[in-house]
Structure 1
């Protein structure tokens, strides 16, 4: 008799699992289309915002690279000037 009860419980668990799966599938199928439209609109807004941020970051990178090149050139001229001042002093030793 215990085996009969165990079998019945197993079958009940199987049926309940299948029922839960069917209910979940039904809820997914009946999902409100406006929810999907809202989600799509939010994703589109996020994409536009991220594209604008990327453009701004790219423009800033171009500015930083130009400034870096300018600083490098100035530093090179300063080093050459210091070496020019120090060269005669080294030769007189």
Structure 2
């Protein structure tokens, strides 16, 4: 083997080492890109889920406001019914009170 062959062999070995190093770097780059894409997909999914939860929260807030308004209206109606029953009860008691002495005679 002459000096030129040795140099060619050394160059071939260095080239193979460089190719192997390049392949290792490319594999690492592919893993990094895949992880980044996965993170972006996860982020997009999380953002979508957050948007859905915010919509649900808004809808629930509206439902709660409507329920509270209905409760307030029912309480006002109840108070009015109680007031009217009390007035009617007083009227009945007064009528019975007026009628009771008339029956005794």
TM-score for both structures, normalised by structure 2 = 0.57
Q: Distance in 2 between matches of 1:68 and 1:78?
A: 15
Q: Distance in 2 between matches of 1:91 and 1:38?
A: 79
| Matching of residues 5-84 of structure 1 within 5 Å | 30=38, 32=41, 33-84=43-94
Structure 1 residue runs of 4+, over 6 Å off?
none
Displacement of 1:88 in angstroms is 2.0
Gaps of 5+ in 1: 1-26
RMSD across aligned positions (CA): 1.6
Gaps of 5+ in 2: 1-34
Q: Report the number of matched residues.
A: 65
TM-score for both structures, normalised by structure 1 = 0.64
Rg (Cα) greater in structure = 2
